[in-house]
Structure 1
């Protein structure tokens, strides 16, 4: 459909072309009569000679060929990563060395739903859409460190439901009562560098000792922590934890019932569950615990972070030891 200011409709083009082809008008006279350029008059006259009345309609502006279009094999890799690993456009792009905008167009062309519109476990579409949270980031490492505790059930002796199915997995769990890990995590706001430990409880003494080791880890990487953000748990409001922070570290608390305030460590918790705790069907808890240091090293040194435009936390902390391992 022609735009509002187009001087020629399909009927007007037909009249112009007939004046030139059938009546023998010069191109300049026809162009002046219909208030168009000589080039436009020539174009419609040539189309009329070649196609007749059918040539007076609009043609698609899409090119006949596109030599730089992404190959079908690469498009399948993009869709495969989305389906199998449930990665977003940015992470797929950094993994394949492609612009995120290109990956987004491929996913749109193949009608892939947004991850926020699907169930995290099954990938099935859901109606509820998650509200976007405004992104923020401190300018330098150590200006804010997010601290949190993630509770994780241990695998029972003989394996859990991922190995043996729900029924036997429940029987093994009920017979042995494996208990829980309390995973203490500390994530730097700027670099996303993470320090984590599997500990038996969340008492104030345990949390205080964890922070002392986490602070030493950040200091060894050349990061001076000046502010710590935690939730309102009793272990973090204790005198022991306050003494462990010291006078040089300012302690901030999240808003009650608002885990989004501590979003970076909450996102690390989710990554930890997806890429370590539930990534494989472990045969025992010892096997899963043994895989934890490898996951943490991969996260800090090699895993591309979408918020860092494909860089790893180690890329933002040049003094981090073992970066090239």
Structure 2
């Protein structure tokens, strides 16, 4: 590819060469006319004599010989470790005593798939599920989330302080009859549209079959109000999703289940749960469980309407749903 400031394009090179070869111009006259060095004029005229118009294109800048290239024997060892152990460049480099950049360059040269594209147990490239339209597939799952004691939890304050807050909250509940100490877990039930990544989610008290069935009825009604007709639902093999109650709640919607021990099949909702953990559940210090619960609807609105999504070219999920209310609030 020509440099953007190069004085000659392929057409300009051809005109220069024809002036010298066909019209009999001197190299100095042609160089002055096209504002290049005499050696440059000589080079393009020489290529025109040898190859004609085909000689005016750029040649590869790759060297004929690479004496410092990694030996083939080392490259084979790198590839062998990658295929058998499915390690990244850093671990392979440590094992073989090489530089990390060298290992990365070899893996790139041979086009080996990145680890995030692979199913670690089998080594096969994961086939990404893409839906052509809203409602073609909705991913459903549950995430278990520990409640926060008064004063804050251990993730933000450390285990010693978090444990002390939990014990204090428990003692207060035993001494005060009207106080309800924070114990146990919330269960985040979530439904994600695969095409738009639009999410409906609720904080519920358990993951029993009746709870999951009732959640789906509300989620489906919510999608319907936003103009999305759900045709397929994908869940894992949890008992609540294999129940008759959940099947009845689905009605005529096709129900698909993931392969056992393959949570990546339901990866869109798994990724959503990781995002909410990073950006909401553990994003800052909450001094009470009620404070964090109150923040969740606001975060969910931001996720759906304002937060850019990498899979959508930096646009929020609402951008793929026509006439979605609240998009500009």
TM-score (norm 1): 0.60
Residue deviations 1:211-260 (CA, integer Å, cap 9, x gap): 000000000001111110000000000000000000x2000000000001
TM superposition shift of 1:266:
0.6
Name the Cα RMSD after superposition: 2.9
TM superposition shift of 1:173:
2.7
Distance 1:258 1:42, change over 3 A: same
Give the secondary-structure state (helix, strand or coil) at the position aligned to 1:130.
Answer: helix
TM superposition shift of 1:278:
0.8
Alpha-carbon distance in structure 2 between the residues aligned to 1:136 and 1:27: 64
Give the secondary-structure state (helix, strand or coil) at the position aligned to 1:232.
Answer: coil
TM superposition shift of 1:145:
0.4
Give the secondary-structure state (helix, strand or coil) at the position aligned to 1:140.
Answer: coil
Alpha-carbon distance in structure 1 between the residues aligned to 2:308 and 2:185: 30
Alpha-carbon distance in structure 2 between the residues aligned to 1:156 and 1:135: 40
- Asked if structure 2 preserves the Cα contact closer than 8 Å seen for 1:27 and 1:41, the reply is no
Give the secondary-structure state (helix, strand or coil) at the position aligned to 2:187.
Answer: strand
Alpha-carbon distance in structure 2 between the residues aligned to 1:275 and 1:205: 30
The equivalent residue for 1:208 is 213
The equivalent residue for 1:160 is 153
The equivalent residue for 1:263 is 267
Alpha-carbon distance in structure 2 between the residues aligned to 1:283 and 1:162: 12
- Asked if structure 2 preserves the Cα contact closer than 8 Å seen for 1:191 and 1:314, the reply is yes
Q: Does 1:42 align with 2:38?
A: yes
The equivalent residue for 1:312 is 316
The equivalent residue for 1:140 is 133
Alpha-carbon distance in structure 1 between the residues aligned to 2:290 and 2:37: 81
Give the secondary-structure state (helix, strand or coil) at the position aligned to 1:218.
Answer: helix
Give the secondary-structure state (helix, strand or coil) at the position aligned to 1:146.
Answer: strand
TM superposition shift of 1:28:
5.2
Alpha-carbon distance in structure 1 between the residues aligned to 2:231 and 2:151: 45
Alpha-carbon distance in structure 1 between the residues aligned to 2:117 and 2:132: 25
- Asked if structure 2 preserves the Cα contact closer than 8 Å seen for 1:181 and 1:201, the reply is yes
Q: Does 1:180 align with 2:198?
A: no
Range 144-153 or range 304-313, more displaced: 304-313
The equivalent residue for 1:303 is 307
Alpha-carbon distance in structure 2 between the residues aligned to 1:294 and 1:39: 64
Give the secondary-structure state (helix, strand or coil) at the position aligned to 2:304.
Answer: helix
Alpha-carbon distance in structure 1 between the residues aligned to 2:227 and 2:282: 33
Give the secondary-structure state (helix, strand or coil) at the position aligned to 1:260.
Answer: helix
Residue deviations 1:255-288 (CA, integer Å, cap 9, x gap): 0000010011011011111110011111111110
TM-score (norm 2): 0.59
Matches within 5 A, 1:224-243: 224-243=229-248
- Asked if structure 2 preserves the Cα contact closer than 8 Å seen for 1:163 and 1:283, the reply is no
Alpha-carbon distance in structure 1 between the residues aligned to 2:160 and 2:218: 41
Alpha-carbon distance in structure 2 between the residues aligned to 1:221 and 1:235: 26
The number of residues matched between the two structures is: 213
Alpha-carbon distance in structure 2 between the residues aligned to 1:321 and 1:201: 30
Structure 1 runs of 4+ off > 6 angstroms? 38-41
- Asked if structure 2 preserves the Cα contact closer than 8 Å seen for 1:27 and 1:42, the reply is no
TM superposition shift of 1:27:
6.3
Distance 1:44 1:215, change over 3 A: closer
Question: In structure 2, which of residues 199, 207, 223 is the aligned counterpart of residue 218 of structure 1?
Answer: 223
